[in-house]
């Protein structure tokens, strides 16, 4: 992320980057929307964020990579598929000099949608 700008929309966030990075960010945004059509967009932690029954995923562009933040549970669940990427507890780095694994992002978003949906349903049952 460049500078200390305050963003109010994902469009505002994307426009600050060079054109080739903008295209990657727009594609990631579309992939997430397609995998989670009911999710809402917002900016959280100054990053593009999708929310559905709570935070779903965040993503951000950096100088040499795209950071994708699908929560620790998704990093664990997709550990083998993510083995070639630098990962931490709740994040993965997709290098800008390699193809972005959009299909893997789709799978991870679908996983997170199901996870959040089950958690929300569990919370509803507890309230009854």
Mean pLDDT over residues 21-31, rounded? 98
Return the pLDDT at 4. 57
Q: What is the dihedral of CA 7, 9, 12, 18, to 10 degrees?
A: 100
Q: Is 19's pLDDT higher than 80?
A: yes
Return the pLDDT at 76. 96
Return the pLDDT at 27. 98
Return the pLDDT at 66. 98
In tens, the pLDDT along 47-104 reads 999 999 999 999 999 999 999 999 999 999 999 999 999 999 999 999 999 999 999 9
Rounded-to-integer distance, Cα 29 and Cα 10, Å: 9
Rounded-to-integer distance, Cα 103 and Cα 108, Å: 9
């Amino acid at each position: 992320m460049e500078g200390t700008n305050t963003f109010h929309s994902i469009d505002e966030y994307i426009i600050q980057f060079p054109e080739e990075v903008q295209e990657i960010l727009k594609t990631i945004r579309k992939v997430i929307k397609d995998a989670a059509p009911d999710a809402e967009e917002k900016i959280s932690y100054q990053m593009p964020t999708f929310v559905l029954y709570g935070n779903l995923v965040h993503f951000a562009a950096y100088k040499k990579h795209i950071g994708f933040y699908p929560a620790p549970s998704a990093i664990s669940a997709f550990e083998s598929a993510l083995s070639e990427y630098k990962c931490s507890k709740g994040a993965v780095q997709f290098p800008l000099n390699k193809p972005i694994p959009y299909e893997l992002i789709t799978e991870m978003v679908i996983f997170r949608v199901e996870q959040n949906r089950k958690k929300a349903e569990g919370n509803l049952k507890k309230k009854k």
